[in-house]
Amino acid sequence: MSYVVTARRWRPQTFADLVGQEHIARTLSNAIRADRVAHAFLFTGLRGVGKTTAARILAKALNCEKGPAIEPCNKCTNCTEITAGRAVDVLEIDGASNTGVDDVREIIDNVIYQPAKSTFKIYIIDEVHMLSNNAFNALLKTLEEPPPHVKFIFATTDPQKLPATVQSRCQRYDFRRISLEQVVSRLKAIAKDQKLKISEKVLFTLAREGEGSMRDSQSLFDQIAAGSDGKVSDEDALAALGVADRQVVYDLGAAIVGRDCLRAVEVLDGVHRLGCDMRRLTRDLLEHFRNVAVAHVTRGKVLPEIPAEEVESLLEQARALQPADADRCFRILMQTDEEVGRSAYPKLVLEMTVIRLASLEPLVPVDDLLRRIEKLGSADSGSVGGGSQSGGSAAHRGGRATAQAARRATPTASTGSGRTASGRTASGPREDRADTGARTDSEAGPSATPRSGDSAPGAGIDGAAACVAYREYVGSRVPTLGSHLALCGEGSFDGKVLEIEALRGFRADYLADPTQTSGLEELAAEFFGRSVRVRVQPVDKVGPEKQESAAPEPTAAERAEAVMTNPTVQAALDILDGELTEVRQRRSRDRGERI
């Protein structure tokens, strides 16, 4: 007797034998019991999940000599002939080979004839989506109102290619992907029947490679069983399939999670020498980090379909890796999968990706950074007390000011690798500012109470002299604000209101900003020893004498030096454990001016 492959020998012959499609079997059985069987069915689903098999079982149940029966007897002439594929009243048509109108016209011409010996004449069209549009159109009328003795059963893996007019005339049944446990259970029964010794680990590998298709998994089973002598070793099975041992995937994952580049490269090199497919390994890693993220967020309550022996290893890595870091690894591997597929050097591409993954620093949530900066600011504020010296900085002016400074100072820093100043990749809004340190000072403002009497530097000074002295004081405290005031007009001071004349446009808008004005008023309170209101008056031109005596605008080097030496920036870098190597200037979107 000739050899018959496992997929054919173990093909289900009753609805009860269908694996993973219990909802389909139950519905069809109930329809037969209630005598409410439709005239046209559409079976859709992944390859190898039982669509054509279910069509044959339905045909046998309808044409069984003891039926129509809920389950075919598989003993009568009709059942045995349908099982063997030689029943004259059950016609199986390959839609991929019979795509034209002429093929469909032959069906239309024959449906008027009564079945030769069965109750129904049944047409099973596999891969029906391959029919041409003209063929579908020719079939529509017959499909909608066929003779009472005719049933149509369509099977397809691509239902979206069927015209809506066809789908609306059929009862649609969606076949599910078969779970790993169900495939493994069936493979165990097959191995026991064939007296073949094979480990559960290999069976899970076969089921995983089958990707939910029972037929594909059984074909792989035949492949590894063909070269065995009654026992299949794990090594021989993996070599025959050309896939990596699952332990390799977990070893690579552990090396990446532990940031052990050497170990990761060694594992990958060993797998490559064994001839493992690099793209398949990339996809295994991709699935692995997805599993790690799911195991982490569900605390192991909802685990992917994995063998029990792998659960602990997965949970261990899930506890060590945050979901955001697993997501980064997943997205990098998604890009690598495409590159490995089209590269002439897939091993090199995957190797560099593994090194990159093993070198990634963990993400630090922005909220955690801000809490640490707030805590530092509160501690510094408490140590300074209520007074404020002229050389003080925004870092010593309260937790809120320090946090604001960090928000502006941190994104400005750029390391050689393109990451943030911390050396880590952090998520959150970015805002580049050239005068980060200076703006921070002005925004935070001095928190000390106004000095009184002769202790205030500007006590007793009025008029234009007070304006000049105030500008010099601001320049000593906040250099960037001082450089802006140096290019303003003389202004005036009446003891309560200090008016600043600023050129209309960027400079006036900058100084009139409520945050800058608030800082100027706090500095004025320190200088004059009393509360003073600061008002910015936009003008079209400042006095020529002022233009001549105005201090030049700081150079890029001076600006960079001011930012790098700013105490607030230094505090932020200490918290972020980073290094500031570059200060960039942002240009105004409207006028192209430097800010």
> CATH number, domain at 203?
1.10.8.60
Of 485, 479, 594, 462, give the one whose Cα is nearest residue 549: 485
Residue 217 lies in a domain: yes
More confident residue, 158 or 396: 158
Instruction: Among 174, 200, 220, identify where a domain stops.
Output: 174
Q: pLDDT tier at 201 (50, 70, 90 boundaries)?
A: confident
Residue 365 lies in a domain: no
Residue pLDDT, tens place only, 209-229: 888 899 999 999 988 888 777
More confident residue, 110 or 552: 110
Cα(214)–Cα(194) distance, integer angstroms: 18
| 449 in the same domain as 403 | yes
Q: pLDDT tier at 200 (50, 70, 90 boundaries)?
A: confident
Q: pLDDT tier at 435 (50, 70, 90 boundaries)?
A: very low
pTM comes to: 0.57
- pLDDT(400) > 50: no
Residue pLDDT, tens place only, 63-75: 998 878 899 998 8
- pLDDT(363) > 90: no
Q: pLDDT tier at 543 (50, 70, 90 boundaries)?
A: low
If one counts the domains in the chain, the total is 4
- pLDDT(307) > 90: no
Residue 591 lies in a domain: no
| 276 in the same domain as 235 | no
Strand partners, 501: 537
E strand or H helix at 457: none
Question: What is the identity of the amino acid at 181?
Answer: E
| 222 in the same domain as 335 | no
**393 Cβ contact partners less than 8 Å away, ≥ 6 residues apart:** 441, 566, 567, 568
Instruction: Among 154, 174, 194, identify where a domain stops.
Output: 174
pLDDT the model gives residue 448? 42
pLDDT the model gives residue 553? 61
| 231 in the same domain as 107 | no
Q: What Å distances lie between residue 34 and 120, 355, 564, CA to CA?
A: 17, 63, 83
Angle at 290 between CA 284 and CA 293, to 5 degrees: 145
Of 165, 168, 249, give the one whose Cα is nearest residue 201: 249
Q: pLDDT tier at 236 (50, 70, 90 boundaries)?
A: confident
- pLDDT(587) > 50: yes
| 275 in the same domain as 351 | yes
Average pLDDT taken over every residue of the chain = 79
- pLDDT(413) > 90: no
What CATH number is attached to the domain comprising 270? 1.20.272.10
DSSP 3-state of 232: strand
Question: What is the identity of the amino acid at 159?
Answer: P
Residue 214 tokens, joined: 């029972």
| pLDDT, average across residues 525-530 | 84
Annotate 213-264 with three-state secondary structure: CHHHHHHHHHHHHHCCCCEECHHHHHHHHCCCCHHHHHHHHHHHHCCCHHHH
Asked if 552 and 479 touch (Cβ cutoff 8 Å), the reply is no
Helix axes 399-412, 567-576, angle to 10 degrees: 80
Alpha helix (H) residue ranges in 421-513: 436-444, 463-477, 479-486, 506-512
Residue 195 lies in a domain: yes
| 561 in the same domain as 490 | yes
| 217 in the same domain as 263 | no
Residue pLDDT, tens place only, 13-58: 999 989 989 999 999 999 999 999 999 999 999 999 999 999 999 9
Of 332, 210, 351, give the one whose Cα is nearest residue 268: 351
Residue 594 lies in a domain: no
Residue 60 lies in a domain: yes
Annotate 510-561 with three-state secondary structure: HHHCHHHHHHHHHHHHHHHCCCCEEEEEEECCCCHHHHHHCCCCCCHHHHHH
Residue 582 lies in a domain: no
| 219 in the same domain as 268 | no
Asked if 519 and 481 touch (Cβ cutoff 8 Å), the reply is yes
How does DSSP assign 287-322, residue by residue?
A: HHHHHHHHHHHTTTSS--S--HHHHHHHHHHHHHS-
DSSP 3-state of 389: coil
Range of the domain at 305: 246-359
Instruction: Among 133, 148, 174, identify where a domain stops.
Output: 174
Residue 146 lies in a domain: yes
pLDDT the model gives residue 31? 93
Residue pLDDT, tens place only, 154-199: 999 999 999 999 999 999 999 998 988 899 999 999 999 888 888 8
- pLDDT(415) > 70: no
Residue pLDDT, tens place only, 244-278: 777 888 899 999 998 899 999 999 998 888 778 88
**310 Cβ contact partners less than 8 Å away, ≥ 6 residues apart:** 246, 250
Beta strands 492-493 and 497-503 are antiparallel
Burial class (CB in 10 A: 0-12, 13-18, 19+), 440: buried
Tokens 């952090």 belong to which residue? 426
Question: What is the identity of the amino acid at 585?
Answer: Q
More confident residue, 458 or 119: 119
- pLDDT(446) > 90: no
| 122 in the same domain as 59 | yes
Q: pLDDT tier at 434 (50, 70, 90 boundaries)?
A: very low
Burial profile 236-246: b = 16 or more Cβ within 10 angstroms, e = fewer: ebbebbebbbb
- pLDDT(437) > 80: no
| 293 in the same domain as 226 | no
What CATH number is attached to the domain comprising 129? 3.40.50.300
Sign, Cα dihedral of 314, 317, 321, 325: negative
Radius of gyration of the chain (CA): 39
| 270 in the same domain as 126 | no
pLDDT the model gives residue 526? 85
| 219 in the same domain as 256 | no
pLDDT the model gives residue 396? 35
